[in-house]
Chain A
Amino acid sequence: MGGVDHHRLAASDAGVDPHVGDRGAGCAEEDQVSTAWLVPECTPGRADVPLPDSTVPIPASTVHGSPGHITAARTYRRSMTAGMIAVAVAPAVTPPPPSSAATPAPATTTTISVTQPAAVLLLAVLHFIPGTDDPAGIVAALASVLGRAASW
């Protein structure tokens, strides 16, 4: 268990890194999309995936969850063919109740430009949600917010 200092976090507030984000046609290029990637040093295939230039050490305080996450990352290395794990660093995934979401918080509209195509990326996230916590319900709630965002 090397701890989080053995890993690097690459984050971009300005846009998706072209090496990372543009794996398919029509990916966002200049929208206000925040991404963060946790790249285990031991991940096979990492050499195939150019790292963003903005890689910085991960302060331990910014990594959510226990060291077991890192253990799992190594255990699941076969799964990491893309050479990376997306980690959720957003402070919350719980959307506001519909009755209070008619007007988004200013922090939301200054971070996310819904006048541009927007997406919710739940990358390697939902398998941490047990069935008892209704992962499908979480997806539905987020999709609902995204749908309402079209009218913001």
Chain B
Amino acid sequence: MVISHLTADLAPGQVNAGVAAYSTWVPAGVTARSHTQVSALFGALPLVPPGVVPVTEWRPPIAGHSRQPADIYAGLARTPGARM
């Protein structure tokens, strides 16, 4: 189970402004969630290291790709019965 999710943790001003702008267009809106909230989406599923982190920090950087700021958390968890 792989989840990536918008967060305002790292740039609250910019992201919350974006959330507000988006929500003026779309009734359902968009919800930025905190690290704790995104982690909670996985429930009891066991997270694979490094856990829920900014998407650019999920797994070591690929050669030639430098880390950049990201307002998206990403995490991966195994599901029951998952094949390796």
Contacts and interface: CB of A to CB of B under 8 A. Distances in A.
A24 B4 contact: no
A89 interface: no
Given A122-B2, A127-B32, A24 B25 contact: no
B62 interface: yes
Contacts of A23: 59, 62
A127 B33 contact: yes
Interface stretch (A9-17, A54-62, A138-146): A138-146
B20 to A, nearest CB: 9
B83 A66 contact: no
Interface residues on B, range: 35 or more
Interface residues of A, number: 48
Nearest to A135: B41
A19 B79 CA distance: 26
B43 A72 contact: no
A24 to B, nearest CB: 4
Interface in A22-65: 23-25, 45, 48, 65
B47 interface: no
A139 B2 contact: no
Q: Quick one: which of A76, A79, A149 has the most chain B CB within 10 A?
A: A79
A122 B45 contact: no
Interface of A: 23-25, 45, 48, 65-69, 71-72, 75-76, 78-79, 81-82, 86, 116-131, 135-136, 139-140, 142-144, 146-151
Interface of B: 1-6, 11, 14-15, 17-18, 21-22, 24-26, 28-33, 40-43, 45, 55-56, 58-59, 62, 65, 68-72, 77, 79-84
9 contacts: A68-B24, A75-B17, A81-B70, A86-B4, A122-B2, A124-B72, A136-B41, A139-B3, A150-B81
